[in-house]
Amino acid sequence: MAEINKAPRGTNDLLPEDSYKWQFVEQKLIETAGLYGFREIRTPVFEHTEVFTKNVGDTTDVVQKEMYTFTDKGDRSITLRPEFTAGVIRSVVEHSLTAAALPVKVCYCGGCYRYEKPQAGRLREFHQFGVECIGAASPAADAEVIALGSQLLRDIGVKKISLEINSIGCPTCRAEYHKALKAYFEEKKDRLCGTCNERLERNPMRILDCKSPVCSEIAKDAPVVIDFLCEECADHFSKVKAHLDGMGISYKVNPRIVRGLDYYTRTVFEFVSGDIGAQATVCGGGRYDGLLEQMGGQAQPALGFAMGIERLLMVLESQQAELPEPRPCDIYIAPMGDAATLKAGVLCAALRDEGFEALTDIVGRGLKAQMRYANKIGARFTLVLGDNELESGKARLKCMENGEEQEIALDAIADAIYEATFTKMAEEFGM
């Protein structure tokens, strides 16, 4: 019987003590993507299963082993999204977004689901931020998307990360590459796992992405796709590198990068960290020029990337990056008695309208317990409200950082906090 007081295996709760880190990262990612013209899109957390089996590739690990698929009450096969791109492209086709000005630039942030062995940096429910750029075929588009990935990581404080790029060609030159791969693996098929033996006939390139240690070792000496690029694909890749060089973005050509999904063409890339163990890829993506047509839309070039939020936070933690602290409570009003409790609620409401985080007692604590609570939550200011304060219309505002107190009118609390905040900022900046 399932333990109802524990989260399912491979999932995590995001607690209030950590949520501010996620909010900072997600907001920064969306803001920076906006500098490149990307606007947020939100798609359903589940899609018709064919969206993934037809477009992600039925020989990939994702489709063969990892999807959460079920039959709904209408006898339809439904799958929780294992990745975003296929669903985003489905949305682009359904709503004819390419009929407007091109390129279409969208970004997203949300949860994905894959049934795999949970480990550090790999969960069954994980979260991604990503971008898709539809309608741009030029090498400059590839370089711009890669530049965005680089800036995103830089802006949120990642210091040590390397960019690896490759080209996996187009369907024309990849056909020759598949022949070479098949010939290479054919001689070693008795050592390949059962899944890779099936892939050998249908899509030998997927063997390069197998997680089996034996298959991975065999694949080390396999032919590399970059040696089979047609003239057009080779020229495209050369120009991508020239654009990256021009922007001063360092990279390494890694001919072993193929990515784990079948829709990729030409440029593929990964941002890799050495600080989080085996799950080193923090951000990965590339071009997928045939996906829109495959989804039933008009043919359009497209490319994008996705980065795992959990892995991103692991890197930031391992590098001891400084993240903004959560905003503290601005003021805690400690009432004594029913009349003061009523007035405290009115004052807090007015302060919240001014943009302050204002709290008061709602559980019936005594004064000493309230002050301990105010200290525990890190309130910047406290104000005790009793019968004398109600009668005089004045109270003492205490700064919890230095213990200083000042008498203020109850209708001037907001002004006093503003003034104290400005004075502190002026002292910090030497104004």
Do the beta carbons of residue 187 and residue 180 sit within 8 Å?
no
Residues 323 and 314: their CA atoms lie apart, in Å, by 13
Which residue in 291, 283, 338, 339 sits closest to 315, CA to CA? Answer: 283
Angle between helices 16-35 and 139-155 (to 10 degrees): 150
Over the range 248-277, which residues count as b (16 or more CB within 10 Å of their CB) and which as e?
ebebeebeebbbbbbbbbbbbbbbbbebbe
- Residue pair 149/279 in contact (Cβ under 8 Å)? The answer is no
Indicate the DSSP class of residue 98: G
Q: Are 87 and 263 a contacting pair, CB within 8 Å?
A: no
CA–CA separation, 78 and 419 (whole Å): 57
Query: How many Cβ atoms are within 10 Å of 199's Cβ, its own excluded?
Result: 24
Non-local (6+) Cβ contacts of 182 within 8 A are 200, 204
Contact 267, 167 (CB under 8 A): yes
User: Following CA atoms 389, 395, 396, 398 in sequence, which dihedral angle do they give, to the nearest 10 degrees?
Assistant: 110
**48 exposure class (CB count in 10 Å sphere: 0-12, 13-18, 19+):** middle
Q: What superfamily does domain 16-170+230-318 belong to in CATH?
A: Bira Bifunctional Protein; Domain 2 (3.30.930.10)
Q: Which residues of 153-191 are buried (b: 16+ CB within 10 A; e: fewer)?
A: beebbbeebebbbbbbbbeebbebbbebbbebbeebeee
**Alpha-carbon gap, residue 301 to 287, rounded angstroms:** 8
CA-to-CA separations, 311 to 118, 121, 183, 277, 306, in angstroms, rounded: 13, 5, 37, 11, 12
**Cβ distance 291 to 85 under 8 Å?**
yes
Chain centroid to CA 186: 39
Q: How many Cα neighbours within 13 Å face the side chain of 174? A: 16
CB 111 within 8 A of CB 127: yes
CATH number belonging to domain 331-417: 3.40.50.800
Ordered DSSP codes for 181-225: HHHHHHTTGGGS-HHHHHHHHH-GGGGGG---HHHHHHHTTS--G
**Residue 354: other Cβ atoms inside 10 A:** 13
Q: Could you tell me how far CA 288 lies from the centroid of its own chain?
A: 20
Beta strand pairing status for 331-335 and 381-385? Answer: parallel
Every domain of the chain and the residues it spans: 16-170+230-318, 331-417
- Record the tokens describing residue 374, joined without a space: 């105010």
> In one letter, which amino acid is 188?
K
Q: Strand (E) positions, 49-124?
A: 69-71, 77-80, 104-113
Question: Please, what are the averages of pLDDT over each run of 10 residues along the chain (431 residues)?
Answer: 83 91 94 97 96 78 85 96 95 95 96 87 91 97 98 91 94 88 88 87 83 87 91 97 97 86 88 74 93 92 95 90 88 96 96 95 96 96 96 95 93 89 55 43
Please indicate, yes or no, whether the overall pTM of this predicted structure exceeds 0.85: yes
What's the rounded Cα separation, in Å, for the pair 168 and 347? 64
Phi and psi, residue 124, nearest 5°: -80, -30
Helix (H) or strand (E) holding 140: helix 139-155
Q: d(Cα 292, Cα 132) in Å, to the nearest integer?
A: 12
CB-hemisphere CA count at 13 Å for 302? 30
